[in-house]
Chain A
Amino acid sequence: MIIGLIILLLKIAAVLVFISLTVLFLVYAERKVSAHFQVRYGPMRVGWHGGLQMIADTIKLLLKEDITPKDVDKLVFFIAPILCFVSAYLAYLTLPFSPQIVVKNLNIGLLYILGVTSLTVLSLMMAGWASNNKYALLGGFRSVAQIISYEIPLVLSVLPVVMMAGSLNLITIVEAQKSLPFILVQPLGFLLYLTAAAAEANRAPFDIPEAEQELVAGYNVEYSGIKFSMFFLAEYVNMFTICALAAILFLGGWQGPILPPVIWFLIKVYLLVFVLMWVRWTFPRLRIDQLMSFCWKILLPLALANFLISGLWLVLK
C-alpha cells in the first residue's frame, strides 16, 4: 500500500514537472508563433533563439515584489490565484497521455475534467471581486457570464462522443476510435467543442475577461509577482488541457502508426494548440453581448441539433 502511495506521489510530481515544462514551452511557443505571424523574430537573445527566455521570466516573476494593495480582501485575494492554478492542474490527474501514462484512470474521467476546469471561474470571480478595482471587477463579472454560458454547449458537444464510445472513461473513449477517429463522424461536434473550449479558457477572440485594450488586464490587474504568474500559467495549462481533451475525444488520442503513442498524442495536441494561437493572432475580439448571443443563439442550438441527430442515428443504426 505504501509503495502504491509512493508511486502515486511520484506520478503526481512527474505530472507537475511535465506541466511546468509544457507551460514554459507553450508561452515560449506563443511568443515565437505570434512573432513569426507578425514578421518579427520574438525572443532571440536568451539562449538559442530565446530558448531560455521563459526561465528568465519565471525567475524574475518569482523575485518580484508581491504587492497586496491596501484595500483588498486579503484572504480571497490570496486564495484566488492558488485556486486558479490548482483547478487547472487537477485536470491532469486523469488525463491519459498513453494507455500507460496516466496518474489515475477514472471511470468518470471526462466528467471529472469538465468539473475541475469549471472551478477556474470561481477563482477569476474571486480575484475580480477581492482586488477592489473596477477593472478587475468588470473582468470578473465578464468571466462568470462567459464561462458559465459556454459550459453548456461545451458539454453538449462532447455528449455524442460519450454516446458513441459508451463510456466516460477517457481511455475507453480513445480505444473506441481504433477504426476511425470521431472527428470524421462528428465534425460539427469538434468545431463546437473547440469554439466553446476556447471561450472556456479565455482564449482570443473570446478573451474578454482580461481584454487588454478595454480592461487593462481584467481580473488580474492588481496582481504582481508570483500570484500573477499563477494566473498566467493557469491560462496556458488550461489551453493545453482543452487541446488534450480535443485530441482524446475527437482525434483518436495516442493512436497512430509507427511512432510511440505519447509522441502521437503530443503531436495532435500541439497541432491544436497551434490552431488556437493562429486564431488568436488573426481575429479581433468580440464584445460581451455579442459573445453571449453567439453562445445562446448559435452555439447552443447547433450543439443541441448535433446531439439530437447523433442520438437518433445511434438509435436507428
Chain B
Amino acid sequence: MTEEKKISREELLATGENIKAQYNFLVFITAVDYPERNVIGMVYHLRSLGNRDTLIIKIDLPREKPEIASVAGIWPAAEWHEREVFDLFGVNFLGHPDLRRILLPPDWEGSPLRKDYTKPGVIKRPETIK
C-alpha cells in the first residue's frame, strides 16, 4: 500500500517523530526542481519493514533559499541522502551533522541537477528520437 502526504516544511520534524516507529526504513530522499512553479520539491520515500507499506512525503521549498530541517537524527540513513541533495540541488539542511559536498569536488560551483544549470564545455546531445 502506498500513501502520499504533502506537508509544509515546518511540520517535517514533528511528522517524522510521529511516524518513525511505523515507517522505520528510509528508502531515499531526493528533490525535483520545478523552475516554472519556482519550487524545489523534496521527496521522502519511507517504508515500513513490518507491513511493507510505503509513505511518500512531499515538501515544497522556495527555489531562492531552499532550507529544511535535517532528518538525520530520525533516520541516520538520511545523512548521505541529504548530503547528495545538498550537493546536486543546493538545498540547505539545518542541523545536519556533516553537510559537505559528497559526489562533486569541494570547489565545484553550482547545483548541477537544477534545471537551469549550465556549464561551459557541456555539449547537448542532438535529438535522434522524435
The short answer to whether A and B are in direct contact, CB under 8 Å, is: no
